[in-house]
Structure formats: C-alpha cells, structure tokens
Amino acid sequence: MKVAVIGLGLIGGSLALDIKKAFPTCQVVGLDNNKQNVSKALELGIIEAETLFEDLNSADVVIVSIPVNSAMDLIPKVLDVINETAVVIDVGSTKSPVCNVVKQHKNRRQFLATHPIAGTEFSGPDAALLGLFKNKTNIICDVEKTAPQLQKRALKIFEAIGMNLRYMNPEAHDKHIAYVSHLSHISSFMLGKTVLEKEKNERDIFDMAGSGFASTVRLAKSSPKMWTPIFQQNKTNVIETLEEYINNLNHFKTLLQNDDFEGVFKEMEDTNYIKQVLKGIY
C-alpha cells in the first residue's frame, strides 16, 4: 500500500507516523507547499520520500491534511489526478463545505470525509506525535457516498491506529463541533486577549498565573492560519454558540451584580455535572 499525505503538519505528520507503525510495509510519502516542512518531515522520518502532485496517481490512499480553505481548492484537483482504485481522505475540522464541493465530482465515490478529533495546540511537522489518535473519535461523514471497497480501506487504517469511528451527516457534524471544539477555541483566545491587554498596563501579572489559567488559555496558542478558515466555513454555527456563551456570561455577571450568590452557587453546581460527562472521555 502506498499512502501519500498532503500537508505535513501536526495532523498529517501524526497520521503518517501512526500509519507507518500500523502497516510496516506501507510506503508513506508526502508533499507540502512549505519546503521546510518537507525537509523536516524527511529528517524526522515522518515520510520516507517527497512526492510530486503529478505522481499522486501512484498512491492507493491520499490523505489531505491542510487548512480547510485550501482543502476546498485542492481536493477536486486531487480527485482529478488519482488512479481509479485510490481513495482520497479529507481530515479537516469542517465537513459540509468540503462535502458540497465534491458533490458533483465524477470521482465522488473515491472520496471519504472524516474528522479525526485529536490534536494539540502546536503545529507543523515538529508537533507530530506517534499515537496521537489512539482511543480518539473519528467522525465519518456521508459514508454511503464512498465506494464500499474504498470505505473499507480507509476505515481499516483508522481502526488500525486505534480510532473509534462514528457516523454523522456533515451538517450535524458542523453544528455539534461548533460547541465542543470551535467555541472552546474562541473562549480561550479571548481569555488570553483579555489578560494580555491587562498585562500591558499592569506588569508582571503572569507569574500569578496557575495551572488553571494555563489550562483554559492553552488553545490560544493554536494556529490562526488553520483556525481562521474553520471559523469562516462554520460561521453560522459558531456565531450561534458564541451568542449562547455570551448570554450565559452576561447572566452570571447579572447574578454577581445583584448579589445573588445562591444563584451563582447554583450555576456552578449545575455545571459540575460536566464531571460525569467527561468521566468517560478524559
């Protein structure tokens, strides 16, 4: 089996490492717009060779792991050039736009839309981690639109690297992921911004920061190049979650202003239920 990974960042690089480990005889090659990423991926043993776009037709599996705006342009082109038995797998964080863009493509049945929910706040081939996907969820969208034997090949890969598969339509994916992922990123970025603005005037407040702040602000280290197109593509859902979040914050502020500390207590006590919810996950 020959796997070509387009985009050798955190996700593409980690997939390359895990696939090579799960399938030792597999040939894993890669390509990236950024030549430094290619050199780094070769140096770190993430891929065994660079591949050219023109040579993608020799691959059995092509994984596209690039920012979601670029994926919209590139995936139809990849579907144009691959050989007729290959499968193209998208792993981006939004699913409706990419599923729409390939809808009428003559090779639609060679495409599988997935979202492996794994990652860190870091990016680039240096951030690639062996085992990143173990016990994580992969959301598979519109699976019935992919040819059965190609579904099988793709899903075998994700199962082999330890992922739990879940099936969903792209619209449901985009709506739900706005809550459990996109909103977290905005809450974290804006928390970081609020504290950085304060720091400008009040020096040295950061050595007062504990592990709680570090945890809530961790996602504010994420790549704007990756996240801007995600917010753009999922704008409607993201705005909806953001409005609900802002309403909840305003309500909490009102409770404080009204000295309603029973209300404040109850808000937190009710939300403690998150412990049960996360128990099975983290």
Subset of residues 85 to 124 that bind its own copies, contact rule: CB under 8 A: 117-121
The rounded distance, in Å, linking the Cα atoms of 129 and 21 is 12
Pairing verdict, β 49-50 and 87-90: unpaired
Query: Could you say which DSSP state residue 23 is in?
Result: S
Q: Which is nearer to its own copies, 49 or 249 (CB)?
A: 249
Three-state DSSP at 61 gives: strand
Stretch that binds its own copies, among 22-30, 39-47, 103-111, 134-142 (CB under 8 A): 134-142
The rounded distance, in Å, linking the Cα atoms of 163 and 226 is 23
What's the closest the beta carbon of residue 115 comes to its own copies, in angstroms?
Answer: 9
Site for its own copies in 169-198 (CB under 8 A): 173, 175-177, 179-181, 183-198
Q: Which is nearer to its own copies, 32 or 174 (CB)?
A: 174
What's the closest the beta carbon of residue 152 comes to its own copies, in angstroms?
Answer: 23
Stretch that binds its own copies, among 11-19, 103-111, 142-150, 207-215 (CB under 8 A): 207-215
258 binds its own copies (CB under 8 A): no
Stretch that binds its own copies, among 5-13, 37-45, 70-78, 202-210 (CB under 8 A): 202-210
Q: Binding pattern to its own copies, positions 15-34, x when CB under 8 A?
A: --------------------
158 binds its own copies (CB under 8 A): no
The rounded distance, in Å, linking the Cα atoms of 37 and 27 is 19
Q: Which is nearer to its own copies, 73 or 80 (CB)?
A: 73
Residue 87 · residue 112 · CB < 8 Å: yes
Dihedral sign computed on CA atoms, order 118, 124, 126, 130: positive
Dihedral sign computed on CA atoms, order 128, 149, 90, 118: negative
2 binds its own copies (CB under 8 A): no
Distances 274 to 72, 164, 245 between C-alpha atoms, Å: 36, 22, 16
